[in-house]
Amino acid sequence: MNYKDIVEFITANPVCTIATADKNQPHVRAFLTNIIDDKIYFTTSLNKNVGKQIKQNQKSELCYLSSDFSTMLRVKTTLDILEDKKIKQYLIDNREYLKHFNVNDPSFILFSLSNSEATFWKLEDNLKEEGLEKIEF
């Protein structure tokens, strides 16, 4: 498997949970993934706890699940905050839930993944986590 397989799976299953931490307390939330030119992006706000937690600690894990519950994609990653106004504006223009943002709003954050390691898991892989293929991207 490779990065193309990851992008295809995420395209078919765009909602994930993203784990952050506040001190030693983990938090998970659902996010809609945005894929632009085969790159994975997310948005949030520094006015929300999740935005503050990402800014404080960019280490995270994402979890995607297929609609039939047969396959999971877990991604161990670093969430990189980006200042790409072109991508921000594109998302504001194309995502109804972002219409209230302005591209110059310092609280509106765009982030992507780096130093990532993905693992696909199927039901038959239960108790075989250590032997699963790791895909670095």
| Per-residue confidence in pLDDT tens, the chain, 137 aa | 999 999 999 999 999 999 999 999 999 999 999 999 999 999 999 999 999 999 999 999 999 999 999 999 999 999 999 999 999 999 999 999 999 999 999 999 999 999 999 999 998 898 888 899 999 99
SS (H, E, C) the chain: CCHHHHHHHHHHCCEEEEEEEECCEEEEEEEECEEECCEEEEEEECCCHHHHHHHHCCEEEEEEECCCCCEEEEEEEEEEEECCHHHHHHHHHHCHHHCCCCCCCCCEEEEEEEEEEEEEEEHHHCCCHHHCCCEEC
CA dist 69 to 17, 61, 64, 65, 121, Å?
14, 19, 10, 6, 10
Res 126: pLDDT = 86
Give me the pLDDT at residue 95, please.
97
pLDDT at 10: 98
Q: pTM of the prediction? A: 0.94
State the pLDDT at residue 20.
97
Beta-carbon-side half-sphere exposure of residue 12 (alpha carbons within 13 Å): 13
